[in-house]
Amino acid sequence: MARRKQTVTIKHVAADAGVSLQTVSRVINKEPNVRPAMRERVQASIEKLGYVPSIAAQRMSGSRSYLIMALNDRERTIADWRKREGTDWVDQMLLGGMLTCAEHGYRLIVELIDTHSDHIERELLGAIAALQPDGVILTPPHSQNQRVIELLHDHGISVARIGSLSGGPGLRFTMDDERAARLASEHLIGLGHRRIGFIAGSPEYELSAWRVDGWRSAMRAAGLSDAGLCEDSDFSFESGRRAALALLGAPDPVTAIIASNEQTALGVMAVAREQGVSIPDDLSLISFDDTPLVRFGTPALTAVAQPIAEVTARAVEAIIEDRKTKETLDRTAVVPAGLIERESTAPPRKR
């Protein structure tokens, strides 16, 4: 029977290089207080032995855990997964976060915490105790939860917040949702639309209000009325259907709709099919998510492309920089979304 190959550890590297475990740890962690000759010797041993640094070895310096935790809303995320209706938000977050973490010798861990749970503090404290993260990336709606933000700050954990401008510590990232909604509205106005409906997102999310503001500002700047043209949703397919029925069933129906996410846009498309409304001949449609279903459906939807991977990558870099400088992150960074024009928008049909 073949013998199992022995795992190379930090102790083997230290013995081969003739240095202490702490010296090897400092080299692994790229700390500055190591002489160049010593660094080269340790690096040579690492390469010779084929050693792969572990989280435990990186933690030996005691100052960092080399783990960054991303918090998502458990109830919504799991519900989408079970219905197989999830968007690619989590995929894009992992893409940007994991690759950037790997570049710096970090690991990204995703935890799901209930937004409405009475035990949110206990759940979060349990995750902190188990993982001891250097930093936490908060996604909506956790990014605006002051209890969560203050708890992390009190534990000396760097915080990067996506989609929130509310008060409190942490680096705040936005994708300039107000501007994105304005771009979408101006695109439709430029095509000649005057009755442009808007399906707002869940009121639990700060960014939902920003998007409504962007749409309203574009409508008013063009001298157009927005009265009765905004319908609420909870980001679900069914709420998109309800909103579409209201907007298309009005005495003076809309000729275009901006939907706050992929699921509500799909709800609009379902109602349009049922009513024999052609997209884009009778109705132009823009989605606020640029997912595969949006890109490869028929017709392919004009969409607001949110740079989720880039935002998460920037959040990781900010947390790592914060750990180096020991300065509390308290500023706002904007990574703007863009509009991608496809087949679902056209000039309105002449009546």
Residue 2: inside a domain:
no
Residues 292 and 182 in one domain: yes
| C-alpha to C-alpha distance for 146 and 151, rounded to whole angstroms | 8
Q: For position 72, what pLDDT does the model report?
A: 87
- Residue 58, pLDDT score: 54
The answer to whether residue 349 sits within a structural domain is no
Number of structural domains, the chain? 3
Residue bearing tokens 């993982």 = 131
Whether residue 185 sits in one domain with residue 84: no
Domain of residue 52 covers: 10-61
Residues 128 and 98 in one domain: yes
Residue of 228, 238, 279, 278 lying closest to 261 (CA atoms): 238
209 and 283 together in one domain: yes
Do the domain assignments include residue 105? yes
Q: What is the DSSP string of 293-350?
A: HHHHSSSPPEEEE--HHHHHHHHHHHHHHHHHH-PPP--EEE---EEE--TT--PPPP
Q: Residue 201 domain-assigned?
A: yes
Do 52 and 153 belong together in one domain? Answer: no
Same domain for 182 and 297, yes or no, is: yes
Local structure of 183: helix, strand or coil? helix
- 320 vs 67: CA distance, rounded Å: 10
Within this chain, do residues 201 and 257 fall inside the same structural domain, yes or no? Answer: yes
> Are residues 132 and 165 both part of a single domain?
yes
CATH at residue 299: 3.40.50.2300
Tens place of pLDDT for every residue, the chain, 351 residues? 444 445 778 888 888 888 888 888 778 766 767 888 888 888 898 888 888 766 555 555 555 678 999 988 888 888 878 877 666 888 899 999 999 998 888 899 998 888 776 778 788 888 888 888 989 999 888 888 888 888 888 888 889 999 988 877 888 999 999 999 999 999 999 999 999 999 999 998 999 999 999 999 999 999 999 999 999 999 999 999 999 999 999 999 999 999 999 999 999 999 999 999 999 999 999 999 888 888 888 899 999 999 999 999 999 999 988 877 666 556 788 999 999 999 999 999 876
What is the per-residue pLDDT for 305?
Answer: 94
Domain membership flag for residue 152: yes
Question: Is residue 183 a part of any domain in this protein?
Answer: yes
Q: Are residues 287 and 186 in the same domain?
A: yes
Q: What is the pLDDT of residue 351?
A: 63
Asked if 44 and 109 sit in the same domain, the reply is no
The reported pLDDT for the residue numbered 196 is 98
Q: Sheet holding 338-340: strands in order across? A: 230-231, 196-199, 256-259, 284-287, 302-305, 338-340
Structural domain includes residue 342: no
Residue 315 within a domain: yes
Q: Express each pLDDT in 321-351 by its tens digit.
A: 887 766 655 678 899 999 999 999 999 987 6
Domain identity same for 193 and 274:
yes
Q: Are residues 314 and 166 in the same domain?
A: yes
- Is the peptide bond between 280 and the residue preceding it cis, with omega within 30 degrees of 0? yes
